[in-house]
Structure 1
Amino acid sequence: MTAALLGFLALLRALERPVPRRWALYALTVPFMGWSHLVALTVLVAHLAAVLDARRRSVRHVLGPWLIAAGGGLALVVPLVVLARTQAQQIAWNTPAWNDIAAMPYMLFRSPVATAVVLGGAVVALVAASRRRRGNEPAPGPDSGHGPDSGPGPGPGPDDGLRTRLTPLALWALAPFLLTVVTARWLHLFLDRYLLFTVPAWILLATVGIHRLTARPRVVRRVAAAFVVVIAAFVPFDRSAVTRNTPREPDYHSVAVRVLADQRPGDGIAYTHRLKPRRALDFELREGPRPKDVLLHDTPQQRADYEAGECQDPRPCAAGYQRIWLVSAGRSKDPFSGMGQLKSRLLREEFRTVRTADFANVRLLLLERGP
């Protein structure tokens, strides 16, 4: 979001005064957008619209410098694109359905009230711009500030200005959404956290729309009353309602605290395959000594994947371990049910459970090798 905001601001400054120093500053923001997330580069569609609008308003020598600045910035992103091609399967799981598309506005703002306010304001702004484009509102008068004495060059009137100013914002908000939806089957990039950089555009559109409403006090009062009702009905006022974990979230932090407190030198740790416990414990146990991952064969980095590879034959991998911590996520009564048959049989037959600790949606077992 920061990179997208800085890029758009730098572009506006360059269009106001198209000198090399400002174009160079804009060029520096382009790779920051691409490096933060490749999807953010779709905002260049909105940038092109702003450049073409400036050119139409007789701002000379902007298209060529923009192409050079944007192209130079994109060249610095090419190595990342080449590297990312080797890891494309990491997001192959992301295949959105129609319900994911419909839920995207809420997923961006995470609040029914915020979603209603932002989308409502944005719709008002776009409708107002559309009406002005059709000429439904009176043209500007001689005192509008755009007459022949207002400055050099034929500047647009307010009826044209609203539409042209909102077009880049609308493209910033909508183009990434549409492009990632259309290419979701091949690129798998339609995801709410990938599109967070569009939030500023939605908020700016909503601000314009809410400002338009203030010119009509009666409408403002009615809309404000409706918002009060919605807020009273849906906003959680209990602090615990907004700070608790999701209902099925395992408490991996408490598991890590217990392991760090009770581990001994030479201990190992193993995982079932429910709810990604290995990934979570790798993070929670990132500091200090930790049990060795008994069944690990290939790291996620070696596999260029999110998941690690485990030993096909678990017996040689578990040889020499007298104690193994087993992290079993989920609500199953059988803590070994989330493992492969060979691994489960090895831990059942050669180890005995000496301690069990239950946490939210996860169980920690201490296994010791039997006689």
Structure 2
Amino acid sequence: MRPAVHPVGRLLGQVWVWPALVMLAVGGYRLGTPDLWRDEIATWTVATRSPGDLFRLLQHIDASNGAYYVLMHGWTAVFGDSTIALRTPSVLAMAGAAALVSLTAQRLFGNRVAAVGAGLLLAVPSEISRYAQEARSYALVTCAIAAASLFLLRALDRPSWRRWAPYCLAMALGGAGHLISFSTVAGQVALVALHLWRTRSAVEWRLLWQYPLAVVVAALPVLPVVLLGSRQSDRQLGWIPTPSPEDLTYFGEVLFGSEDVFHAFLPLALLALLLPGRRIQAWQLLLLAVLPVVAVWLVSWSGETSYFLGRYLLFTVPAWAALAGGGAGAVYGAVTGLARRLGRAPRGAAAVAGLLAAGLLAVPAVKALPEQQSVRYVGSHNRSVEPFKAAAREITAGYRAGDGMAAPLGVQAWAMAWPGVSYYLPSDVRPYPVFVARSAEDAEDLSPAPCPQPEACLGEVSRIWLIVLGDTEDPLGTMPPDQAQVLRTRYGVPDRVTPLGGLTLALLDRDV
């Protein structure tokens, strides 16, 4: 009779546990080091509003992120709005995605090496780490679509509504988190088709109506987001360029954050596709990884609005990780199988095969180390340099009660300078809002509304902290002319000008 295994031992023996723990460690490492960038500032400024203000804003902008903002509203109410608190849900979600990838690989390849390797490989690409450390919806969407893939496989094995229900829920969560994630249906259709071809069972043909119906059920809760988001698409997505064929060719490097890392994944994927064993399952994963990207590219290339952006398609990386893990598992199976045929010692063959598989898995991890480091410095989340914290530090050091602050609004509100600097200001440093007609909450927008007549919104402050975009020695020269003229008349030239590397901070004092 075998001795009873301690519950902790049983837990640690599960294929998903170590990948989840590794992803937690990778995602949590220096979690609070990179400054919040403008998209994360948007999360903060929306999530910390009252429910009424939040839902009123979604009528005008960012409806596609509405479900995530509602989630973060509840989260910040409990855990606060520090940088670490804002990013922790993403770390947890990506750890969940790693666990789900392991379970998916185990189900497809029936191999512990493939399962554990797949989950560990998800932690390798720097883009996964970066968005595991970002207060945006991409990690939660990646987790939801990874869950949908696993639940789809379970439903295909034994179709029943008890198995379709989790799939519908996961797809609805993914679609509500980011509409583009529904493009995964393009890969799922191919996966279902290959399943039908492999099984060739008359019973399985009921999938021809069950799967489409499940997709429709999953899409129903997302329809309000679709309707609101379609009206906001020009403002939200107008900056994304129409992709070229070359963009599609090199998109793997964008997804993985590095040409070297993507090319290190490819040999493992090819091994899964070519070595005997579970090749159809490997092709299912390949199509699940590739077809959503192709579908979004086609829509973006041929339509008026482009959706072709790396972070929008991050949810396809788990399929790549599962496929690459399958390659390591296929090598392990091929070596141990050959050893059995040659009559070699099973334990020795397993050890050699394990070392070989571990070596193959280590190659992408080594290739990714430089990029993993690069996503953890102070400004690494900024696509353009946005030194909000530096500006707030300068203002705090020289602040006097009654000071005012002016920051880019109107056509320059995309930079999120006003809420970005405000986030880093201490609670007792609250400058008077110069040139502001309505607060962001009253304007039902991400940033305050600018005053149409600057002089009427100047206030009676004796000093103004002026923030402008870019590094310049003439901050008034970069402002809207009507605002600049008011400041020149009332305050003259700035008393102090400090370029901060992306923003310039100036102090205007009419008493000097």
Query: Given the alignment of the two structures, is residue 333 of structure 1 paired with residue 473 of structure 2, yes or no?
Result: yes
Q: Is the 8 A contact 2:144 2:170 kept in 1?
A: yes
Q: How many residues align?
A: 336
Q: 1:288 to 1:198 in 2, by over 3 A?
A: farther
Where 1:336 maps in the other structure, the secondary structure is: helix
Q: Is the 8 A contact 1:274 1:338 kept in 2?
A: no
Letter of the structure 2 residue corresponding to residue 330 of structure 1: G
Identity of aligned residues (%): 28
1:5 aligns with one of 146, 170, 176: 146
Where 2:405 maps in the other structure, the secondary structure is: strand
Please give the alpha-carbon distance, in whole angstroms, between the structure 2 residues aligned to 1:241 and 1:188.
26
Letter of the structure 2 residue corresponding to residue 108 of structure 1: L
Which protein shows a greater Rg? Answer: 1
Please give the alpha-carbon distance, in whole angstroms, between the structure 2 residues aligned to 1:191 and 1:256.
31
CA deviation after TM superposition for structure 1 residue 4, in Å: 0.7
Provide the TM-score with structure 1 as the length reference: 0.76
CA deviation after TM superposition for structure 1 residue 298, in Å: 6.2
Please give the alpha-carbon distance, in whole angstroms, between the structure 2 residues aligned to 1:307 and 1:186.
27
Q: 1:93 to 1:306 in 2, by over 3 A?
A: farther
Q: Is the 8 A contact 2:243 2:308 kept in 1?
A: no
Structure 1 partner of 2:159: 18
Query: Given the alignment of the two structures, is residue 78 of structure 1 paired with residue 247 of structure 2, yes or no?
Result: no
Letter of the structure 2 residue corresponding to residue 268 of structure 1: G
CA deviation after TM superposition for structure 1 residue 306, in Å: 6.3
Query: Greater CA deviation, 242-251 or 192-201?
Result: 242-251
Structure 2 partner of 1:191: 309
Please give the alpha-carbon distance, in whole angstroms, between the structure 1 residues aligned to 2:230 and 2:364.
49
Letter of the structure 1 residue corresponding to residue 377 of structure 2: T
Please give the alpha-carbon distance, in whole angstroms, between the structure 2 residues aligned to 1:167 and 1:303.
50
Q: 1:117 to 1:286 in 2, by over 3 A?
A: farther
Please give the alpha-carbon distance, in whole angstroms, between the structure 1 residues aligned to 2:289 and 2:196.
22
Query: Greater CA deviation, 74-83 or 22-31?
Result: 22-31
Q: Deviations over 1:267-310 (max 9, x none)?
A: 32112459823353244349565224322346677888767653
Letter of the structure 1 residue corresponding to residue 310 of structure 2: D
Letter of the structure 1 residue corresponding to residue 507 of structure 2: L
Q: Is the 8 A contact 1:250 1:330 kept in 2?
A: no
RMSD: 3.8
Letter of the structure 2 residue corresponding to residue 92 of structure 1: G
Q: 1:288 to 1:84 in 2, by over 3 A?
A: farther
Structure 1 partner of 2:343: none
Please give the alpha-carbon distance, in whole angstroms, between the structure 2 residues aligned to 1:97 and 1:337.
35
Please give the alpha-carbon distance, in whole angstroms, between the structure 1 residues aligned to 2:371 and 2:182.
38
Q: Is the 8 A contact 1:252 1:280 kept in 2?
A: yes
Please give the alpha-carbon distance, in whole angstroms, between the structure 2 residues aligned to 1:86 and 1:303.
18
Structure 2 residue runs without a partner (length 5+): 1-141, 339-354
Letter of the structure 1 residue corresponding to residue 258 of structure 2: S
Query: Given the alignment of the two structures, is residue 122 of structure 1 paired with residue 269 of structure 2, yes or no?
Result: yes
Query: Given the alignment of the two structures, is residue 43 of structure 1 paired with residue 184 of structure 2, yes or no?
Result: yes
Structure 2 partner of 1:162: 279
2:320 aligns with one of 202, 220, 224: 202
Letter of the structure 1 residue corresponding to residue 307 of structure 2: L
Structure 2 partner of 1:94: 240
**1:183-332 alignment to 2 at 5 Å?**
183-184=299-300, 185-212=303-330, 215=334, 236=370, 243=377, 245=379, 249-272=385-408, 273=412, 276=415, 277-285=417-425, 290-297=430-437, 309-332=449-472
**1:137-176 alignment to 2 at 5 Å?**
158=277, 162-163=279-280, 165-176=281-292
CA deviation after TM superposition for structure 1 residue 174, in Å: 1.3
Q: Deviations over 1:47-83 (max 9, x none)?
A: 2233333334214333322222221111111111111
Provide the TM-score with structure 2 as the length reference: 0.57
Please give the alpha-carbon distance, in whole angstroms, between the structure 1 residues aligned to 2:427 and 2:364.
48
CA deviation after TM superposition for structure 1 residue 28, in Å: 1.4
Query: Greater CA deviation, 43-52 or 173-182?
Result: 43-52
Q: As a proportion of its length, which structure holds more helix?
A: 2
CA deviation after TM superposition for structure 1 residue 236, in Å: 3.8
